[in-house]
Structure formats: C-alpha cells, structure tokens
C-alpha cells in the first residue's frame, strides 16, 4: 500500500480551517463540528489512494465530511438541532431595514434553514465552490443546488426582513413572513 505522502499531509493540514468552517455550518455546534472534522481526516487518510492528485482536494474532503455528517444524523435518528440556539435566534431577529444587519442575527437565521439549503448556500456563497462542484459534493444535480441556493436566500431574506435585493418587494416579504411561522 502506498504511503501517505508528505504533500498530502500538508494539504490536509491546510484544509482544516475550511473543513471546520463547513462543519460548523452543517452542525451549528463547535464540538460536534470538530468531531466531524476529526472523523473526516481519519477517513481521508484511510482512503488517500482514492484521491486523484491534481483534482480538487478541498471538494474531495468536503464530500467526505458531508457524507459523514449525514450518516451520523441517520444513526442518531436525526436529532433536532440545539433548540436553545433556535429559540435565541428567533428572539434575536430584528428588522434590518435601517442600519447594519447583525452577524448574530444572521447566524440565527442561517440556523433556521433546512440542512440541504444551508449547505448549498454555504458552498456557493461562502466556500467558493462552483455550482458544478457543489452538486458533486452533495451528490445531486446542478439545478437542485441552484434551486436550494435560491430558496435559502429567499428564506434568509424573509427571516431577516431584508428588502430591495431582488424581485421580492416589502409587501411580498411580509406576506410570506406572516404565513411562514409553521414551516
């Protein structure tokens, strides 16, 4: 069996900050995120031979991390995310029309998104992946990613009461907000 090269190890080390950021985005919990990153590194090490040098290591690692996350969720019977956090988030959200949107409010809003939408908007809007790469990481069609990103964005706007960014006018948003509490 081929040994893990020094370069691979260095690249793994270099990927850790991104992996942790993605893991926190998925789990919304710092401790769970670090456990997830640890699992990911062990898995990546074990199957390093299946990585093709020259391809995107970060995408490969994100795929492993994501698979690990969902398989853990399935094992645990999909436990509900930290309900205290969600409660705080709901209380913390204010209308953002005047002045800067608070990062804490944004975090709270992000937390309320379904996992599939949250991961899609993170991969595209923050991790710097293309729609094609994100589709590969999530094992779905490019169109699915596009629609998840679009729904995630609309939902965030709705939660944060941001208006004027696109086709949703203030009226459309308040109409959605009043009807969305049970969602």
Partner 1 sequence: MTKNITAGADRRRAASGDLLGPNSEIGRKLKQYYDELVSDHVPDRFAQLLSQLEQAEPAQKKD
**Residue with token string 């995408």:** 59
Position among 36, 64, 138, 162 found at the interface with partner 1 (CB under 8 A): 162
Position among 67, 81, 92, 106 found at the interface with partner 1 (CB under 8 A): 106
Nearer to partner 1, 126 or 175 (CB): 126
Which region among 20-28, 64-72, 83-91, 170-178 touches partner 1 (by CB under 8 A)? 20-28
Position among 64, 121, 137, 173 found at the interface with partner 1 (CB under 8 A): 121
List binders of partner 1 among 62-101 (CB under 8 A): 96, 101
Tell me the CA distances in angstroms from 21 to 36, 104, 119, one per residue in order: 11, 16, 11
List binders of partner 1 among 42-61 (CB under 8 A): 42, 45-46
Can you give the binding site for partner 1, defined by CB under 8 A?
1, 3-4, 9, 12-13, 16-18, 20-21, 24-25, 34, 37-38, 41-42, 45-46, 96, 101, 103, 106-107, 110, 121-122, 124-131, 146-147, 149-150, 153, 156-157, 160, 162, 165-167
């Amino acid at each position: 069996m081929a040994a893990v090269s020094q370069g691979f190890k260095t690249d793994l080390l270099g990927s850790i900050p991104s992996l942790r950021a993605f893991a926190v985005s998925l789990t919304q919990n710092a401790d769970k995120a670090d456990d997830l990153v640890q699992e990911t590194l062990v898995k990546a090490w074990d199957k390093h031979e299946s990585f093709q040098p020259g391809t995107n290591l970060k995408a490969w690692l994100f795929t492993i991390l994501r698979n690990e996350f969902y398989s853990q969720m399935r094992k645990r019977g999909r436990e509900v995310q930290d309900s205290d956090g969600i409660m705080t988030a709901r209380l913390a959200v204010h209308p953002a029309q005047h002045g800067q949107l608070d990062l804490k409010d944004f975090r709270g809003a992000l937390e309320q998104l379904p996992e599939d939408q949250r991961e899609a908007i993170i991969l595209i809007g923050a991790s710097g992946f293309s729609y094609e790469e994100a589709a590969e990481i999530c094992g779905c069609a490019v169109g699915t990613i596009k629609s998840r990103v679009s729904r995630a964005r609309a939902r965030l706007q709705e939660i944060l009461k941001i208006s004027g960014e696109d086709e949703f006018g203030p009226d459309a948003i308040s109409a959605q907000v009043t009807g969305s509490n049970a969602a």
